[in-house]
Amino acid sequence: MATQVAPPRSVQLTQVTEWSDGQFRLQDDVLAAEEPLEIRIGQSPLTVTMRTPGHDEELAAGFLLTEGILEDPAQLASLRSYVTSASGKHNGIEVELRDCQFDPAQMQRNFFAASSCGICGKASIEAIRQRGLHAPNPDFRFDPELLCTLPDKLRAAQAVFSHTGGLHAAGLFSASGELLVLREDIGRHNAVDKVVGWAMLQGKLPLSQHILLVSGRGGFEIIQKALAAGIPALASVSAPSSLAVQLARELGLTLIGFLRGRRFVLYSGAFRCAETRISPGHNAGP
């Protein structure tokens, strides 16, 4: 894959005071940029998400699909960047849909509910099931040795992280381990939406022969976004949440955590790992 270049406006230069070995000194530092992106459908506001500028149309497209507003990529008619009055910058995406029923008030209520920490796991998973998501490709297989090579490929391609050290990444890999696309953002869910949006705009959905690798943890929202894109295997370098594991097992996604060096943990869908041989282990305790 070609060398990654940081998108315009994705980083900001600032001056900081560093203390080191008893001495203070002024120096320049690079920060990961954070700005709001307003997404509207026609003239109706849908949501505002904090994101790292860059690949905004992919982010909007991926968001619409993974949040269930679009049932089919063909329902997306157009995307247009616009300047928001508050910032004077291109921090807005206007979406036009076709053959799609859109109720702005209902959508906003759904997003408020989805962000609430009070929703129980059963209700959340039932809502996902009602969207019509289903088990991804049961015939997909991957080599565990190949899986262990992916984190280094992801890290090497993180252009903005290399400058700032402060971004999440999502990388889409082929079954042979080729990095097809990488996107970075302050929000891990935004990075995933950018990857899914890229695939959607390139006409590559469903991603039934691919592995998605994310930095950080594998949370519930990441699992449902992967399922919406038809991804059969999701790996993270950290731990998943309990609800993420529950949803992955419910809908047949292969979920991998703690992918570091030559070790990883399979939380669900071990059958997709080629030549899986499970030795007796020990109980982890309550």
Query: Cβ contacts of residue 210 below 8 Å, gap of 6+?
Result: 172, 173, 174, 175, 180, 231, 232, 233
How far does Cα 280 stand from its chain's mean position?
A: 34
* Triad 207, 209, 211: Cα angle to 5°: 80
What are φ and ψ of residue 5, in 5° steps?
A: -115, 135
Q: Tokens standing for 24?
A: 């203070």
Length, in residues, of the chain: 286
Alpha carbon distance 63, 56 (integer Å): 10
> Is-catalytic flag, 273?
no
Which residue's structure tokens are 């950080």? 216
Catalytic residue among 100, 117, 148, 273: 117
Alpha carbon distance 41, 67 (integer Å): 14
Strands (E), the chain: 11-20, 23-32, 35-41, 44-51, 76-82, 92-97, 168-174, 179-185, 210-214, 233-236, 254-260, 263-268
- Confirm if 52 and 188 have CB atoms less than 8 A apart: no
Amino acid at 66: T
Alpha carbon distance 97, 65 (integer Å): 12
- Confirm if 58 and 198 have CB atoms less than 8 A apart: yes
Active site amino acids:
117
